[in-house]
Amino acid sequence: MATDRTSIHGQWSSRWIFILAATGSAVGLGNIWRFPYITAEHGGGAFVLIYLVCIVLVGLPIMMSEIMLGRRGRRSPIHTMEVLAEEEGRNRHWRLVGVMGVFAGFFILTFYSVVAGWTLAYIVRAVSGMFTQAGAQQTQDIFAALVSDPERLLAWHTLFMIMTVFVISRGVKKGLEQAVRYLMPALFLLLLFLVAYSMTTAGFSQAVAYLFKPDFSQVGPSTILVALGQAFFSLSLGMGAIMTYGSYLSGRASIPGTSVSIVVMDTGVALLAGLAIFPIMFTFGLQPEEGGPGLIFKILPIAFGQMAYGRVLAVIFFTLLMFAAWTSALSILEPITAWLVEKTGFTRLKAAIWSGTFAWILGLGSLLSLNLWSGVKLFGMTFFSLMEYLSVNIMLPVGGLFISLFAAWFMARSSSFAELGLSRRAYLAWKVGAMFIAPAGVILILLQEFFGFLG
């Protein structure tokens, strides 16, 4: 039986709005900033293939599980896990899945807000026409000047965090629903346009081969873990963001169809970003692996600088990217804020300010690790890369693992069946995915990372 619980935080006006909001959460810096540079660091096609396998076999069943749990619990992740565990007669400690999600959210925000700050900075640079006729050297200098200046980074990081807290404090429904409706399709169109431009460049076929012809000699021991982490990160899974959005979803909407739409759109945007960026890189004789986290910020301006109306297009592109980052950041802060409201009775405003301030302070670590603290290493990583590694590669997969284990092994069949609303066959497919394939995938990949038995 579906339950008649409702969320105290409100409900999406329709299933379609939920899809847009969840897509807004999924499509972000992960697709356009992170996917291309991670792909480049891991040798291209083989990485892309492993990533796609992770999306389908691990991401999709967990996406369905997360939405299902959220909609059934109708509270922020910690409380949802608590309520459901109790209802199913399970241990209360399942709430720790939600607790880890809160930590993962803070860790992600530390670097997310800093990189989102770069997009804000680049809107200004695009408006001022800095990229016109800029060559590879100049765009690299422009990027280096930005990240080596803590004061500038601080200003953008602060602005982005204020923007995020502002929307969250008003509740997701007001404003955000409207924004996502137009911005996501616009971003999609602009990416298509950039791909069309890239198709005219000399490097296009080389880029297609690079992205889609797997060369397994490039697969290193940690490639699979990185692909898995990227799948979780890009789909916003494993920390309760999608669970929280699911808790605002009407009881009638079909979870499987919804999940497939989100996954397809998210993956489409990542592949388009790759097809837009790599051709330009090859055309200008740049080596993908050299890009690092600054990749798109150094590469795309070269193309904008060359094309007709490039200045206008650059402004539009970085604005849309900023919006994509914004709608994702909202979904990272939302679970934490909703939890604070439920737990303490704070107003949304107060809860949003508290969680935003905490994330802002942690973000200073990431910000400074790009310049003043670049020599400070923990486990061989800067603060920025440590936060990224821990949250994306470890916490999200582990969170997702427990989410699927709970949904498939610890919930009564009658509960999950009622909530998912599937035909028997589709239910079976979900169950096999969430019970065996997704958990086994995550466990094997994590074991491989720590004990290295596969290679």
Least distance in angstroms from the C-beta of 28 to ligand PHE: 3
Q: How far is CA 108 from CA 104, 184, 244, in A?
A: 6, 22, 17
Cβ neighbours around 171 below 10 Å, total: 16
Structure tokens given for 249: 């979803």
115 contacts ligand PHE (rule: CB under 6 A): no
Footprint (CB under 6 A) of ligand PHE, residues 312-341: 328, 331-332
CA-to-CA distance for 236 and 309, rounded, in angstroms? 34
Q: Which of 273, 316 has the CB closer to ligand PHE?
A: 273
- Whether residue 73 contacts residue 335, with contact meaning beta carbons closer than 8 Å, is answered with no
Does the protein bind ligand PHE through residue 394 (CB under 6 A)? Answer: no
Smallest separation, CB 452 to ligand PHE (Å): 27
Question: Which contiguous run of DSSP H or E holds residue 328?
Answer: helix 310-344
Among 7, 25, 201, 283, binds ligand PHE (CB under 6 A): 25
Q: How distant is the alpha carbon of residue 108 from its chain centre?
A: 9
Query: Of the two residues 23 and 415, which places its CB atom closer to ligand PHE in the complex?
Result: 23
Residue 58 contacts residue 403 (beta carbons within 8 Å) = no
Shortest separation between residue 252's beta carbon and ligand PHE, angstroms:
25
Stretch that binds ligand PHE, among 26-34, 146-154, 272-280, 337-345 (CB under 6 A): 26-34
* Smallest distance from ligand PHE to CB 426, Å: 25
**Count of CB atoms within 10 A of residue 126's CB?**
25
Amino acid at the residue 359? A
**Are 105 and 338 spatial neighbours (Cβ–Cβ below 8 Å)?**
no
| CA atoms 377, 41, 30, 433: torsion sign | negative
Nearer to ligand PHE, 310 or 335 (CB): 335
Residue 105 CB, nearest distance to ligand PHE (Å)? 7
Site for ligand PHE in 177-236 (CB under 6 A): 233-234, 236
* Binding residues with ligand PHE: total (CB under 6 A): 15
Tell me if 30 contacts ligand PHE by CB under 6 A: yes
**Listed residue (98, 104, 144) closest to 121, CA to CA:** 144
Largest CA distance in the chain: 65
From 21-29, 201-209, 341-349, 438-446, give the range in contact with ligand PHE by CB under 6 A: 21-29
- Under 8 Å CB-to-CB from 357, ≥6 apart: which residues? none
Q: How far is the CB of 74 from ligand PHE (least distance, A)?
A: 19
CA nearest neighbour of 101 among 120, 80, 71: 80
Contact between 31 and ligand PHE per CB under 6 A: yes
In terms of CB distance, is 29 or 316 closer to ligand PHE? 29
**Cβ closer to ligand PHE: 31 or 201?**
31
* Contact between residue 443 and residue 397 where contact means Cβ atoms under 8 Å apart: no
Distance of CA 317 to the CA centre of its chain: 18
Structure tokens of 197? 């431009």
- Per-residue contact flags (x/-) with ligand PHE for residues 69 to 108, judged by CB under 6 A: ---------------------------------------x
The answer to whether residue 63 forms part of the interface with ligand PHE (CB under 6 A) is: no
**Least distance from ligand PHE to the Cβ atom of residue 184, Å:** 13
Residues 6+ apart with CB under 8 A from 453: 447
Question: Cβ 249 to ligand PHE, closest distance in Å?
Answer: 16
Neighbours of 428 (CB within 10 A): 11
The residue number whose beta carbon is nearest to ligand PHE equals: 30
CB atoms within 10 A of CB 181: 14
Residues facing residue 251 across a β-bridge:
none
Candidate list 28, 73, 256, 310; residue touching ligand PHE; CB under 6 A: 28
Select from 21, 26, 147, 228 the one that contacts ligand PHE (CB under 6 A): 26
Measured from the CB of residue 350, what is the shortest distance to ligand PHE in angstroms? 23
Contacts to ligand PHE by CB under 6 A = 25-26, 28-31, 108, 233-234, 236, 239, 241, 328, 331-332
